[in-house]
Structure formats: C-alpha cells, structure tokens
Amino acid sequence: MEGDTNKLSYMCLNTIASVRLVKPKVNVRAHKGIVRKLLEAACWVIALGLGQPTLYNDEVAIPALVKTGIRLEDTREYSNDGCTELLMPGKSDLAFHICLMVQELHNFLFGLDVERFPHV
C-alpha cells in the first residue's frame, strides 16, 4: 500500500506551477512508499522548467547520513537549507554570516581604485 501525504504538498506544487515561482525552493522527499499522484505532480512541475521542486531520495539520503555518524532517528527528520545541503532541524550547525559578508563586500567595493576601470 502506498504511503500517505497531505493537501499542503499539492497546494505548494500547484502554487509553483501557477505563479511560476523559482523561489522559495520547494523539495519533495521520495521513498518506496511515496504516493504515485504526488510523485507525478512533482514531475509535472519539474517539466515546466522552473528548476524545482528538488527531489530527495530517502532510500539514499538516510543511509548516507547514518554513515557520517548521525543517529538514524535524527536522519529521518532531514531537510535542506534551500540549496542542496542536508540538515537535521534543530541539530545542525550551519550559519550564514551575512553581516561579515556585507562588511567584506563594502570594504571591497569602497577599496577599489575606480580609475583603473575604463569609463563608459
């Protein structure tokens, strides 16, 4: 018997297709028990060429995460950060240091010798 899913999954996929969203990224976790209708809906949206949803294969991802030393119970809750890294919600240590990046960008831009560049 196939697994279960909820209406919210279909609503997210339909919204991407209707509005032609490319962000925020939406993901679908696939596994042996995935509802065929959900997998077909995800493939239909992928075929629109919007670059999403991303499909994650639980049959591969979970064992790979266990091999890295993460507890099986934690791996079953994996998600991603919007790109491709797999995270365990509330247990991963990933931080984007936006303030540091903005400061570095500021220093770079205002430290440029603009006279070196040809003027248009």
pLDDT at 113: 63
What pTM was estimated for this model as a whole?
A: 0.69
- How many CB atoms are closer than 10 A to CB 112? 10
pLDDT at 120: 43
Contact residues for 5 (Cβ-Cβ < 8 A; gap 6+): 34, 35, 38
pLDDT at 19: 92
Give the pLDDT band of residue 115 (cuts 50, 70, 90).
low
pLDDT at 70: 92
Structure tokens at 61: 């991802």
Amino acid occupying residue 76: R
Contact of 64 with 73, CB cutoff 8 Å: no
Q: What percent of the chain has pLDDT over 70?
A: 77
